[in-house]
Structure 1
Amino acid sequence: MPKIGVIYNDIKPIACQVAENLQKQLESKGYQVYLATGYAGILGYSHPHRPVCHSPIEQIAVEGFDHNMSFAIVLGGDGTVLSASRQVAPHNIPLLTVNTGHLGFLTEIYLNQLSTALEQVLSGKYEIETRSMMKVTVIRDQTSLWEALCLNEMVVHREPLTSMCHFEIAIGRHSPVDIAADGVIISTPTGSTAYSLSAGGPVVTPDVPVFQLAPICPHSLASRSLVFSDQEPVTIYPATPNQMVMVVDGNAGCYILPDDQVKIVRSPYDVQFIRLQSPEFFRILREKLGWGLPHIAKPTSVELP
């Protein structure tokens, strides 16, 4: 019996209702349906001396979500998509993402398009777009303290009441660089339109195999964003006596102490998104962020009454 998953945001009543209706609808057609919330993919926060969330990356998917699942439907906003991506990536489960949130930059369709889209997917009329992920690991005293899959970005930044921080960053075989800033962002191409964009980084199309380094409020005219191959591992050494905070995809945290190391590599797992038409990234940039829209012509002269 074919298996289909539904991952939904359980704090949104509309997503809960649609998930329940989808289960009944698909089961009536002979499919085996598994429901799950995005909770398992939310990484949570840790305390300085009591780390949490050291769940092995391969074990955060809930029961029933495995390689035998045809695809999964995600009901929520971008946060739910990020969470679902961590849950299904190790099992190569394609995701049909449905926006029940606000911006929905990562979602494919709106809720009122779900019925038509589902028929199209069940008939096999779709394409798969692959997005790369990062694996982020915090090392303390030569022990892996915390790890996570990351679709958008990881950020190491100062705490609110501390001063500017220094970061020593080693990229692959290259000489380490020192950056003085409020924080640093390492992002994937998918994350180039998220926090990194707000920090002044460039937009990178999803098919380019790179990482991006973007300083946050750097104290130097020479500190600018850097794009480099995602085959280069990155290690961040906090070159400051202050405790800092690491956040992954905006929903997970870990305190970073002065002797810690943060290691970032390209994940062996990618996310597979179901696209109902050929992916057109510039169209999404126009619709969601207003990029490339034509300027409105202004009159060369104005006649006063």
Structure 2
Amino acid sequence: MPKVGIIYNDIKPIANEAAHSLCDRLKAMNHEVCLATGVAGILGYSQAGKPVCHTPIDSLVPPGFDQAMDFAVVFGGDGTVLSAFRQVAPKGIPLLAVNTGHMGFLTEIYLNQLNQAVDQVIAGKYEIEDRVMVRVQLYSHDRLAWEALCMNEMVLHRQPLTSMCHFEVRVGNHAPVDIAADGIIISTPTGSTAYSLSAGGPVIAPGVPVLQLIPICPHSLASRGLVFPDSDPVTVTSANPESLVMVVDGNAGCYVVPSDRVRLARSPYSAKFIRLKSPEFFRVLREKLGWGLPHIAKPTSVELP
């Protein structure tokens, strides 16, 4: 019996309804269906002064989601998609992302296309697009205290955000550098269209095997974005006495004290997106972010009176 998973944002009625409707349809087609919410992939935030709760990456996989699962469908916005990939990436399960949110930059289809899209996937008429994911780990006194899978970016800043902070960053085996800024962003190519884009970083096509480091409001004309191979691990420590706040993909985070170190490295797990036609990144940029659209009226040949 074919096995399919469904992950949905249970606080959105439209996603809840669509998920259970698809579940009934798949069961009527003699498919085994496993349902899960996207909440399990949202790791939450630790609280200052309390021990960091270490949730191992592999423990986020929902019950029943395993290598025998043909594919999974996720209903929600980009936040739910990010959460869902934390849950299924360790098992290599491909996801069909259905937009029930707003922008839906990471989603493949809209809700009114669902039935046709699912039939196409069941028939095997789709492609898999692999997106790199990063393992973010916090070490406290050389003990692993917190970790998460990251598909967009890791942001490290001091509270309040407008305060200046000094970060010591080591990329691979290169000498460490000191960055004075409100914070730093380390993003994947997928995350290059998210927070790092707003902070002045470049857009990077998904297939390029790189990461990028973007200072947030740096206090130096010499501090600019850096693009480097994703095979190089990154270690970040604080050069300030105050604690920092680390946020991963905008929905998980923890406090980082001066004696801690943050380590990022390419994960062996990847995000497997189901694409119903060949991926066309520039089209998505144009449709979602308006990239490349003409913004100045072009002259036309008009006869003057």
TM range (shorter): over 0.9
Equivalent residues of 2:161, 2:183 under 8 A apart: no
Equivalent residues of 1:162, 1:242 under 8 A apart: no
Moved over 6 A (4+): none
Is 1:46 the equivalent of 2:46?
yes
1:20-99 mapped onto 2 (5 Å cutoff): 20-99=20-99
Whole-Å Cα distance in 2 between the matches of residues 103 and 34 of structure 1? 27
1:259 CA drift (Å): 1.1
**Secondary structure at 1:125 match in 2:** coil
Unaligned runs of 5+ in 1: 301-305
Equivalent residues of 2:162, 2:182 under 8 A apart: no
Unaligned runs of 5+ in 2: 301-305
Worse overlay, 161-170 or 196-205: 161-170
Whole-Å Cα distance in 2 between the matches of residues 200 and 59 of structure 1? 35
Q: Which residue of 2 aligns with 1:102?
A: 102
Worse overlay, 47-56 or 114-123: 47-56
Equivalent residues of 2:86, 2:149 under 8 A apart: yes
Whole-Å Cα distance in 2 between the matches of residues 191 and 161 of structure 1? 20
Deviations 1:197-237 (A, max 9, x none): 00000000000111100000000111111000000010001
Whole-Å Cα distance in 2 between the matches of residues 57 and 229 of structure 1? 23
1:168-247 mapped onto 2 (5 Å cutoff): 168-247=168-247
**Secondary structure at 2:23 match in 1:** helix
Aligned residues: CA RMSD = 1.8
One-letter identity of the residue aligned with 1:150? C
One-letter identity of the residue aligned with 1:282? F
**Secondary structure at 1:69 match in 2:** coil
Deviations 1:101-134 (A, max 9, x none): 0000000000111111111111100000000000
Q: Which residue of 2 aligns with 1:267?
A: 267
1:162 CA drift (Å): 6.9
Per the normalisation by structure 2, the TM-score is 0.96
1:48 CA drift (Å): 3.1
Whole-Å Cα distance in 2 between the matches of residues 212 and 190 of structure 1? 11
Whole-Å Cα distance in 2 between the matches of residues 29 and 298 of structure 1? 54
1:52 CA drift (Å): 4.2
1:163 CA drift (Å): 2.7
Equivalent residues of 1:103, 1:288 under 8 A apart: yes
Equivalent residues of 1:132, 1:271 under 8 A apart: yes
Q: What is the percent sequence identity of the aligned residues?
A: 68
